[in-house]
Structure 1
Amino acid sequence: MEGKVILVTGANKGIGFEIVRQLAKLGHEVLLATRDEQKGREALIELQKENITAHIIRLDIIDEGSIKAAVSQVQQQFGKLDVLINNAAILLKEDQSLLKNNWLTIDQSLQTDAMAQLMVTRHFQSLFTKGSRIIMTSSGGGSMSDPVGGWSPAYCIAKSLLNAITRHLAYEYTQQQISVNAFCPGWVKTDMGGKSAPRSVQQGADTAVWLATAEKIPTGQFFRDRKEIPW
């Protein structure tokens, strides 16, 4: 998959930035999508220090107008999108209990961490071609198999919803030979994961890079460290 056009949301820092870094280093046309253009420019400066080139796309995943403008920009500049990595997400400190959370906390989590990914995918589908790939940054917190409880329940159920969306999109895109998969980066040292997290951003980004670039991948599956895990 040399020279593919790949867009990564939430890409100015953390796992998203590392995904961009690794993919651009491999020679792909990588679009660093961020809602804050200044932070995007700062991220590009960091990449330039390593002689790595990427492109900024302004994209607020919960703003439909912003999504449409981003689609138009990608259409004009590249004419297609080979890989969409839906990485942007939020983890709210107020998210403590489904019974006690302010409703806005629950609604914001569901909208930003699941429904926005569906909306972004629907708008960008006009740029997909045969063999395009859609990758969702999910979480083990969204698993229906692992134990639950103890942290950020609204975030976790949003990731469960994202996993369900992944499976249904994989089914609907089968005839177009477009793959749709989710991956869990694990607990990673980022602004979201915190300093006590055991995994590096390089480890967190690896599976997404593999799903974007491997010669052949399945569809409708959930991965961690390049291995399929239960939903």
Structure 2
Amino acid sequence: MAIVFITGSTDGLGRAAARSLLDAGHRVVLHARSADRAASLGELAPRAAGIVIGDLRSAEQTRSIADQVNAIGRMDAIIQNAGVYPEGSRGSTPEVHAGVLAVNTLAPYILTALIDRPSRLIYLSSGLHRGGEGSLRDLDWTKRSWDPAKAYAESKLQVVALAFAVARRWPQVFSNAVDPGWVRTRMGGPGAPVDLDTGQRTQTWLAVSDEPAAKVSGRYWHHMRQEQPASEAADPEFQDQLIASLGALTGLALPEA
């Protein structure tokens, strides 16, 4: 049985993935952005191998999350599930970054750099990432007029590129990106066409399955099938430039193999 850390596991896809893994006998480390949110875990809390707390909008708290996970022990897999949907304004984090960039891109990067290297990494993206090319010209939206949909799409392309960059740098780790589809969650809304079980299935399978089909790296998945991502996300030059930019923004280098 595996031990799996899931970011953003108090509701939605993260909670569904946690329940699925726990029901299958795996150990799960849960994440909540605050103590109040952790209190909403209900029956999942006593079943968890641990609960870590921190707001992914804050780089300092994200680093604390990494420390808390490392104190529990080495994870077999990490599902980078947490994310925010398009926001009406750029916002400003404690480090003065755009909120969407901080949660959807910088936090997964920081956690990847600081948490003891697992055997498997899964990053949740979106089919909307295909509208996110060209972000390196103004990664943090300090020069452009704010465009919520574009900012979200860029962040989801960046996380695919991050998954692929990790696959190239760490060949001993299975690193993949997943598009769960438009799921009936608080974020997706009640009219979304995909149910929670379908939405969580691919990432939990990639996290723990011993099937040869699941033990691959540098792939983009949608509902248990591999798909071709946006060309920029699959471009090694873009991946390397993105990693360098994220390193500069966070002050953290992504370790080499």
Superposition TM-score tier, normalisation by shorter sequence: 0.7 to 0.9
Q: CA RMSD in A?
A: 2.3
Q: Percent of pairs identical after alignment?
A: 27
Deviation at 1:103, TM superposition (A): 4.3
1:137 aligns with 2:124: yes
2:29 corresponds to which letter in structure 1? Answer: L
Gaps of 5+ in 1: 95-101, 146-150
- Inter-partner Cα distance in structure 2 for 1:71 and 1:160: 23
Distance 1:200 1:141 in 2: 18
Would the aligned equivalents of 2:122 and 2:203 in 1 still touch at CA under 8 Å? yes
Please, which runs of 5 or more residues in structure 2 have no aligned partner?
133-147, 230-257
Correspondences of 1:119-130 after superposition (within 5 Å): 119-124=110-115, 127-129=116-118
Where does residue 154 of structure 1 map in the other structure?
151
Any conservation in 1 of the 2:105–2:158 contact (CA below 8 Å)?
yes
The letter for the 2-side match of 1:82 is D
Match of 1:32 in 2: 30
Q: CA offsets per residue over residues 189-222 of structure 1, 9 Å max, x none?
A: 1111011101111111000111011114210000
Instruction: State the shift of 1:153 in Å.
Output: 2.2
Which one of 103, 107, 115 corresponds to residue 116 of structure 1? 107
Match of 1:97 in 2: none
Indicate conservation of the 8 Å contact 2:77/2:208, yes or no: no
Q: Aligned partners of 2:193, 2:43: CA distance in 1, in Å?
A: 24
TM-score of the superposed pair, with normalisation by structure 1: 0.82
- Asked if 2 retains the 8 angstrom alpha-carbon contact of 1:85 and 1:136, the reply is yes
For 2:107, the aligned partner's letter is A
Match of 2:254 in 1: none
* 3-state DSSP of counterpart to 1:152: helix
1:209 aligns with 2:207: no
Q: Pick closer, same or farther for the CA change 1:17–1:103 going to 2, 3 Å.
A: closer
Normalising by structure 2, report the TM-score: 0.74
**Residues of 2 paired with 1:75 and 1:103: CA distance?**
32
CA distance in 1, matches of 2:44, 2:61: 25
- Mapped to 2, the partners of 1:69 and 1:116 lie a distance apart of 11
Q: CA deviation at 1:19?
A: 0.6
Distance 1:6 1:212 in 2: 7
Distance 2:21 2:3 in 1: 10
1:22 aligns with 2:13: no
Give the Cα–Cα distance (whole angstroms) in 2 for the partners of residues 29 and 66 of structure 1: 24
How far residue 227 of structure 1 moved from its aligned partner, in angstroms, is 0.7
1:84 aligned partner:
78
Greater shift, 67-76 or 79-88, is seen at 67-76
Letter in 1 for 2:109: L
